[in-house]
Amino acid sequence: MFHLILFLFFGAICVAGAVNLLVQSHPINSALSLIAVMASLAAEYLLLGAEFVAAVQVIVYAGAVMVLFVITIMLLNAGAEERTKGSRVAILIGVPGVTIGGVLVAWTLLYRSNTRAVPIGALKGDPSDIARLLFHQFLLPFEVTSVLILIAIMGAVVLASRPEAVARGPRKDG
Amino acid sequence: MEIPLSCYLVLSGILFVCGVLGFLIKRNIITIFMSIELMLNGVNLSFVAFAAQWHALSGQVFVFFVMVVAAAEAAVGLAIIIAVYRTRETLNVDRVNLLKL
């Protein structure tokens, strides 16, 4: 019962934050509601027993990625978004289509699937178990992601620096 | 007290649909980018829920990889947004309709 209450509480925060992200017009409000969504998703991961994933969710997503977003919003001095024409068609077609699709998926999952119930802490997501899997079975993907991160860092530095600074190349001081 | 897996999947579906809706109706490029992150989060939740049901820890490792790729993508994407803003002086996607400067 306690488990159900926790699930519903954090699920409600998740959905409220996601809807708030849609209705807010200023990007900084959307970013803050996205942080609320990610933090309550970390609580849902804890309910599922995924301790390591919950910690990484808070540190990487709610921490690092969202700080990057907020810094970009402040750097570009983004104001409230202006309404332009052309998005009307997207609303007219997209909202009913997405609603129908969502209801269909939810109905299929709730009534036409033979999924079992998930007990609390069903699977021990200990960091040691995750690490054993990560450094034995998934060693190659793990190393490849390090190369990916390196390339992403270089790409971000090149893209975000001023074009004339990239064209001039490294400064030669005598 | 056990919670059916379907509840987790429905929650993940709701988050994903909210992300798709934001991607469609938002005009600010940063908010569109945040909608993509929301979609990734919804998928991550279903990964963890299925991992718990099938007692397979590799699902959680997959979530870890998704987070790593999403962090790299956020860094590059925000750098692209800064570069676009520097040349176009706008964040509205309707005004960014040419690849050429």
B71 to chain A: closest CA residue? A65
pLDDT at residue A143 in the model: 93
In a domain, A130, yes or no: no
pLDDT of residue B70: 92
Overall domain count for chain A: 1
Is residue A34 in some structural domain? Answer: yes
B101 pLDDT above the threshold of 80: no
pLDDT at residue A106, rounded to an integer: 78
Nearest chain B Cα to A55, which residue? Answer: B64
Residues of B within 8 A of A70 (CB-CB) are: none
Count of H helices and E strands in chain A?
Answer: 8, 1
* B38 in contact with chain A, both atoms CB, cutoff 8 A: yes
Cα separation of A51 and A37, whole Å?
17
Predicted local confidence at residue B89, as pLDDT: 82
The parent domain of residue A67 ranges over: 1-80
Hey, what amino acid is at A146?
A: S
CATH number at residue A27: 1.20.120.1200
Residue A142 lies in a domain: no
What's the mean per-residue pLDDT of chain B? Answer: 88
- Kindly report the CATH class assigned to B5-95: mainly alpha
Token look-up 């699902």 returns B59
Choose the closest CB to B48 out of A3, A11, A53: A53
Which one is predicted more confidently, B55 or B44?
A: B44
pLDDT beneath 50, residues of chain A:
174
Dihedral of CA A7/B66/A113/A123: which sign?
negative
List the single best residue of B7, B20, B92 to mutate versus A (max A Cβ within 10 A).
B7
DSSP state of B57: T
pLDDT at A126: 79
Q: CA-CA distance, B45 to B63, in Å (whole number)? A: 8
| Residue B96 confidence (pLDDT) | 80
Report pLDDT digits (tens) over B71-98: 999 999 999 999 888 888 888 888 887 7
Residues forming beta bridges with residue B28, ordered by sequence position: B92
Q: How far is B22 from chain A (nearest CA, A)?
A: 6
